[in-house]
Structures are given as C-alpha cells and as structure tokens.
C-alpha cells in the first residue's frame, strides 16, 4: 500500500493495491495488518455510508469530543470528494491549519483523519457515496462542528456559498474562534 503523508503528517492518503483483470478489479479496502505497517494502529468500531445526491454538497466540519473522539478512514464508493481536515489541537504548530485531498471511486484512494481534526467533505460529482470507518461510536451528545466557510480557516472549497447544499446543522455551526479547546 502506498502512503502519502500530507503537509500535516498525521493525515495520510492511502492507496491500497488494486488487482485489475478482465472482470474489473479486486481491492482490500481495509486490512488491519497493512494499516499497522503504515503506522495506523486504530481499532475501528463502526462503518458509515453516506450518499450525497448533489455535486457541491458539503458535510462538515465535524468532530466528536472526548471521550468519543473518532479516527476516520474514508473512501469513496461512487463519485469523488474533496476531503478536508482542520487541525484543532491546541498548541499544535499547525493549529487552525488544514490539509485536503481529492478522494475518488476511480482512484480507490483513502484518507486517514485522526480524532483531533475537524473533518469535512465536498462532493465533486452527483450521487457520491462515501464509506468510512470510525474508531468510536456515534454520540450525539459529543458531536461538535465548525462553520465550513469560516474565513479564518481559509478553506478553498470547490463550491461557493450560493450553490452549496448543507444541512441546517452545518449552516449554524460556530466560528473556529468560538469553539472550546477539546484537544491538546
Ligand atoms: C454521524 C452519524 C449520524 N447519525 C444520524 C444523526 C442524524 O439523524 C443523521 C445525519 O447525521 P449528520 O447530519 O451528522 O451526518 P453527516 O453530516 O453526514 O455527518 C458526518 O459528516 C462527516 C463529514 C464526518 O466526518 C462524520 O463523522 C459525520 O459527522 O444520522 C447516526 O445515527 N450515526 C452517526 O454515526
């Protein structure tokens, strides 16, 4: 498996081997041993599957607070996304900065985002299906977010305010400056 550490190196893009033949391909989308060889020892406990019908749908930026923080391993079964991870570790040299990568069904790549990052996606194609593993169970009481287009974060989303599809929850998320310090 190829591993690419992004500019914030705790966030990694992974490329599992795709075995191509006349029928199509075969790919191990999750292998605990291979991930451990890449330095990812996370135990995942839940798989999620989200369909976004429209291109230009943004989900995020989301995180769960301790003790329900979630490492995430994200891939795309149909379509493509821009995946964004914002460092929310107080005291980190990259606090408030973000990295992003295009993750797509055609590439078969994946992205690993640790718990102490706010995470979001923007769909680059209609009917995009995202499948991801998380290392802690969902807890609505521990669910938190940051406003996707907060100018303080300076994220270059592939969709503008006028065209974005967002949940009501994400429209009302707080600014980055107003979130509490959950991770150190
Ligand atoms: C995330 C989640 C949501 N739900 C429920 C709550 C709600 O009724 C419905 C939709 O939830 P949301 O609007 O929060 O879904 P969504 O906006 O897709 O949230 C996801 O966004 C991406 C960017 C992430 O990183 C994920 O961790 C998760 O926060 O599904 C669960 O039952 N289990 C879960 O694990």
Per the domain annotation, does 6 fall within a domain?
no
* Beta-strand runs (E) in the chain: 2-5, 12-15, 18-21, 24-27, 46-52, 58-64, 72-78, 80-87, 98-104, 110-113, 117-123, 128-134, 143-145
pTM: 0.97
132: annotated active-site residue? yes
Per the domain annotation, does 49 fall within a domain?
yes
Per the domain annotation, does 69 fall within a domain?
yes
CATH number of the domain residue 151 falls in: 2.60.120.10
Q: Is the pLDDT of residue 184 over 80?
A: no
Per the domain annotation, does 53 fall within a domain?
yes
Q: Is the CB of 138 under 6 A from ligand 1?
A: yes
Distances (CA, A) of 116 to 52, 98, 134, 137, 141: 25, 12, 13, 15, 17
Q: Is the CB of 169 under 6 A from ligand 1?
A: yes
Per the domain annotation, does 108 fall within a domain?
yes
Find the domain containing 84 and state its range.
Answer: 44-175
137: annotated active-site residue? no
- Note whether 75 and 132 are within 8 A (CB): yes
Q: How many domains does the chain have?
A: 1
Q: How close is the Cα of 52 to the center of ligand 1, in Å?
A: 12
Q: What is the ipTM of this complex?
A: 0.98
For atom 6 of ligand 1, which residue has the closest CA? Answer: 140
Per the domain annotation, does 95 fall within a domain?
yes
Give the tens place of pLDDT for each residue, 129-147.
999 999 999 999 999 999 9
Per the domain annotation, does 35 fall within a domain?
no
């Amino acid at each position: 498996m190829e591993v690419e550490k992004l500019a914030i190196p705790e966030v990694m893009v992974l490329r599992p081997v795709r075995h191509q033949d006349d029928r199509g391909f075969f790919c191990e989308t999750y292998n605990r041993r291979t991930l451990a060889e890449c330095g990812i020892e996370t135990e995942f406990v839940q798989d999620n599957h989200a369909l976004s019908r429209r291109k230009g749908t943004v989900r995020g930026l989301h995180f769960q607070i301790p003790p329900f923080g979630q490492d995430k391993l994200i891939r795309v079964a149909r379509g493509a996304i821009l995946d964004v991870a914002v460092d929310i570790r107080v005291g980190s040299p990259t606090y408030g900065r973000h990295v992003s990568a295009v993750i797509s069904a055609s590439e078969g790549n994946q992205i690993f985002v640790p718990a102490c990052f706010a995470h979001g996606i923007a769909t680059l194609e209609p009917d995009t299906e995202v499948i991801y593993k998380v290392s802690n169970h969902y807890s609505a009481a521990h669910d938190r977010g940051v406003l996707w287009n907060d100018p303080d974060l300076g994220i270059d989303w592939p969709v503008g305010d006028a065209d974005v599809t967002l949940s009501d929850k994400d429209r009302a998320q707080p600014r980055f400056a107003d979130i509490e310090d959950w991770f150190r």
